Amino acid sequence: MEWTDDGIILGLRRHGEGHAVVELITAEHGRHLGLVYGGGSRKKAPALQPGNSVRAVWRARLDEQLGNYTLEITQSRADRMMMAARASFGLQTIAALLRLLPERDPHGDLYVMSEYILDRIDEPEAASLIARFELQLLAELGFGLDLSCCAASGITTDLVYVSPKTGRAVSRAAGEEWRERLLPLPSFLREAEVSVSPAEIAAAFALTGHFLAVHVLEPRGMDLPEARASLVAAARRMRAA
């Protein structure tokens, strides 16, 4: 068995004498692990950093085996990760969320989004992009939110709430009576906006975090990634500065 694909390094662990098991999110083969011979050596280890993009060749005798990787670094992002703590928090958050996907299950849109975000991980827009990434992740896990129209009236304008039970949008007028029970819907999750306030970012992560917790994490006995809370806090500090 052999295939070649583009991927992003999510993490790695040492294996045996100087080797490493590398975890990638790939364009066509999903989240996939493989052994890199010498991956723990002084020569190779510095290049195998989480967040780097690679051209990967995977080989194994049988499809169900771990197999081994030959990796060529196509984009190094170590400099971006060192620019600010929020960049590291963002990468850790993305990696933790991608690990919720079944192994070897292709999710091309999430791969493309990951590449796009990581190329901007040290920029102010990264936090809002990760919130959109979480919406897409929910959809691909089968728990997508319907933000297209109001659940009560069917209108497509002035949608400012989301039902925490159904995941459907609610308009300002329809939700006024129950606004204390509804989740705020930041407009940037429905429309392309350049400037996003700290309050909107916090509201977006509260929204996606609710549905991730209820539908994905709690049934698995898991919590939201610790790095995610640090990312939100860092985004608040950056935009308040």
User: Which stretch of 63-67, 113-117, 149-153 has the lowest confidence by average pLDDT?
Assistant: 63-67
Pair 118, 201 in one domain: yes
For 11-25, the pLDDT digits (tens) are: 999 888 889 999 999
Residue 99 lies in a domain: yes
Tell me the whole-structure pTM to 2 decimals. 0.93
Pair 26, 61 in one domain: yes
Eight-state DSSP code of residue 76: -
**Quick one: how far is CA 223 from the chain centroid?**
15
Residue 47 lies in a domain: yes
What is the rounded CA–CA span in Å between residue 188 and residue 111? 21
Order of strands, sheet of 159-162, starting from the edge strand that comes earlier in the sequence: 169-171, 159-162, 183-184
Out of 76, 97, 118, a domain closes at: 76
Task: Judge whether 173 and 154 are in contact, CB under 8 Å.
Answer: no
For 145-173, the pLDDT digits (tens) are: 999 999 999 999 999 999 999 999 999 99
